[in-house]
Every structure is written in C-alpha cells, then in structure tokens.
Amino acid sequence: MKQTIQFALLVGLILLGISPERVSAKEDDQYTFDVETFAKKTWEWQGEISTVATRKELNSDSDLYPVKFPQSDQAHLNELNLQLSLESRWDWGWSRLFLAGEAHRLRSSLEDANSESTVLNEGYWQFSEVDPHNIEIGKRLLRWGKGYAFNPVSFLERSKNPEDPEASREGLWMVQGIWIPGGFSLFDSSSLTLVYLPVRDDLNDNYQPTISEENFWGVKLYALIGTTDIDLYLIQKNQQEESDWGFDFATNLTSSFEVHGEYAANHVEALNYQTMLLGLRYLTENDVTWIAEAYHDSAGLTKDESRALFTSLESGSPVAVKNAVSLIQQSKTLNQNYSYLKVSVKEPFNWLYFTPSMAWLTNLDDSSTNINTQLAYAPAANWLFQFSWQFLSGDVRTQYGENLIKNRTGFEVAYSF
C-alpha cells in the first residue's frame, strides 16, 4: 500500500504538467526550430513503457527443484512483464525536486508467481542555492564506486545484480550534503560528501534485514589528479560501534583504455571482511567495447562450504533446508571469487542501430558459468527491440549448475516518451 501511494504521487505530480494544449503544440511544432526549447526548463519529465515476454526452462536436476516444486513436474515457465517507468525534475534555481519510479505487472504460467508492484526508486529535494555545493533530503541512490558488474564500496545502497548490472535499483531514505571546493594543490578537482542514513522498523527497513535500528554516517572524499579519479570512504555505525572504510580509483591509460578498482573493509559483529575489485574497459578502433572485472569477497563461501549447503537441501532438517534456500536465492555472489567479461559491438557489418553483446559471469571457485547474450535494435530514438538468451551451466553442487533456471529466452519491446 505504501509503495502504491508513493508511485501514485509520482504519476500525479508528473501529469500535473501535461495539458491538451501542451500535447497538441508538441505535435504541431515538432519540425520547427524554437530557441526556447534549448533554454533551461523549470519542469522536465520522461518515461518508458516496456513489455518483456520470457520463457524459462527449469533445471529438474537441481536440488532446488523438488523444494520449489514438490508436487509438480513443471518443465517450463512462461512470463509476461509490463513495466512503466517515469522520471521528473523540477528546477526553481534555488532548489530542485527529483522523482523516479516504476510500476510492474507480472503474469506467469505459474499462478503463484503472478504479482503487481510499484516502487519509488528516487524522490528527493535538493537545495542548490549555493551551487555547486548542495544539500539533498529524500530517497536517493548514491551510485558509489567505479565497477560495472560489482561495487564493493556501495556501503549505503543496495548492491548491483551482476547478472543484470544496468537494471534499475531502489534508493534509500537519507540526508546528503556535498561540498565542492574545486581544485587546489595537487588536486585538479575535489569534493566532500556527508551522508546520514537512519534504519528503523518503517524506514529503510529492508536495507539490511538483520538490522532493525541503526544510524549510518558516511563520509566520501573525492579527488581528481590528472586523469585519475580517487574516492575515499568511511562509514560509522552508531549502535554497533563499528566502522567500515574503503577506496576506489579509475584512470585512463589512453583515450580508449581505462582501469578501475575498489576495496572495502567491512566489520560485522567483530568479524572483519575484505571485498575487492579490479577491472578494465577498452574500446577498439572498430567500436568493440570490452569490460573485464575480477571480484573477491572474503565473506563468501568456500567451494566446500557451498557444496555442503547444496547437500543440506537433500539431507537437512526443514529449518536447515529453508535457510539454505533463502541463502542460495538471495546471494548473487554465493562464493568468494568471480570474474565478469562483457563484449559489445556497435553496428557490426554496418547494420545501423544494431548492438549485439555477450557477458560471461563465472564463479571461479566452482567453475560454473552464467552467460547472457543480447541483441538490441533501436531503429528510432524512442524505440528498442531486444532479444536475450541466458544460459547457466556447471557441475552438481555448484552455484549455476544447481540454479533453478537452466536457460532463459526473452524478447523486449520498449517505447520511451
């Protein structure tokens, strides 16, 4: 109910700026030149509606299969997902208001999987009277870190899904202040960010399920030295009296070759964990983009520990099975070591508006793989047609070999407005 009200408010605020006169004028004048269209606007908005048809082949050999389908011989799942995304921005000079949200309607051949949901991804007010410095209050996605598929330093936000790194994410309610002194001494540019993020029973309650009440304080120091970006992070947890810290960097070795990395030291109940990432991005002369990343999380399971976890699905008690299923399905990085490689080609063979790509996500501990292929065709600025195919493989008792989904085929049509 809370999410529905938030999204209804988002839609209402956006639609307040739409009138028949605006729509008809836009249609009549779409081929005319008006210098005012390039002027800064007080109110702007955009949206997208998409439909995704998906067919999933289930892995009947998985230890998860009899747990999820105890009385069924289900072999496939067919799904249709309708999504509406809206974004809006008001700029009054002295302050700004940002809103972004989504509504989903999922229909599946498995009736229990049918769902409807709305979510306000971001909704925050920004005081900008002292630009470039500002203060922000509301629901915000910080987007900390330099990684593409992984972000060890995303201390105060929900983690990315390495299977779909570009998927939208929900922000968190917080207060953020940004001070930008500019360049000085060795720094070509610099900034200081302060963040306060409270966790209560009804505020950011799903951020970290094991924490019911906490006050997170975050500090981020940014510096640009030549062509190298550097960020330093410090996170203080008041109730637990613990601190996390980390850093990231990104540097351009050439105009087409970039190297980036992240490191985070996390403290949970007096235990210390390290998470790190090293990656690169390379653009060839014929518009082929390569992204490669190596990721390590000392809090992840070893190969033997994950094998024992899958074994417990067959021989464990009901409570142990429930806990194992929950851990397996919620952990995008179940083990400690992963690699990610993506290659995308812009308009191969001179096929305009066509971009194929392939991504390999590999669990280096158990050698299982998750491969995702996408064929995107955008013949117009506001249309996208995309075919995707995902294939998961591995031996028994491995993360992707035991995945409930063996392969997934999808077709998406999206229209932006």
Predicted confidence (pLDDT) per residue in 341-351, tens digit: 999 999 999 89
Identify the pLDDT of residue 139.
97
Whether pLDDT at 22 is above 60: no
Average pLDDT of the residues in 405-413: 97
Identify the pLDDT of residue 20.
39
**Which pTM value belongs to this model?**
0.87
Between these two residues, 240 and 81, which has the higher pLDDT value? Answer: 81
Whether pLDDT at 26 is above 50: no
DSSP category for residue 159: P
Average pLDDT of the residues in 377-399: 95
Average pLDDT of the residues in 62-91: 91
Between these two residues, 13 and 414, which has the higher pLDDT value? Answer: 414
- Reading phi first (left if > 0) and then psi (alpha if -120 to 50, else beta), residue 40 is in beta
Among 97-111, 157-171, 319-333, name the one with the lowest average pLDDT.
Answer: 319-333
Identify the pLDDT of residue 38.
61
Q: How confident is the model at residue 88 (pLDDT cuts 50, 70, 90)?
A: very high
Tokens of 357: 């790509």
CB atoms inside a 10 Å sphere around CB 142: 19
Q: How confident is the model at residue 33 (pLDDT cuts 50, 70, 90)?
A: low
Bond preceding residue 132 cis, omega within 30 of 0: yes
Whether pLDDT at 17 is above 50: no
Whether pLDDT at 37 is above 80: no
Between these two residues, 189 and 212, which has the higher pLDDT value? Answer: 189
Task: Tell me what the pLDDT averaged over the chain comes to.
Answer: 89
Identify the pLDDT of residue 186.
80
Predicted confidence (pLDDT) per residue in 225-274, tens digit: 999 999 999 999 988 888 999 999 999 999 999 999 999 999 877 788 99
DSSP category for residue 184: B
Please measure the distance between the N-terminal and C-terminal CA atoms of the chain and give it in whole angstroms.
27
Tokens of 353: 């508006």
The set of residues, in sequence order, having a beta carbon less than 8 Å from that of 30 and lying 6+ positions away, is none
State the residue for tokens 């899958």.
Answer: 310
Q: Which of these, 127, 107, 125, lies nearest to 115 by C-alpha position?
A: 107
Among 58-62, 64-68, 290-294, name the one with the lowest average pLDDT.
Answer: 64-68
Identify the pLDDT of residue 5.
46
Identify the pLDDT of residue 240.
82
Whether pLDDT at 15 is above 60: no
Answer positive or negative: Cα dihedral of 73, 77, 78, 82.
positive
Q: How confident is the model at residue 23 (pLDDT cuts 50, 70, 90)?
A: very low
CB atoms inside a 10 Å sphere around CB 184: 10
Identify the pLDDT of residue 35.
57
Compute the residue count for the chain. 417
Q: Which of these, 98, 182, 84, 193, lies nearest to 138 by C-alpha position?
A: 98
Whether pLDDT at 95 is above 50: yes
d(CA 401, CA 187): 48
Identify the pLDDT of residue 31.
52
Identify the pLDDT of residue 395.
94
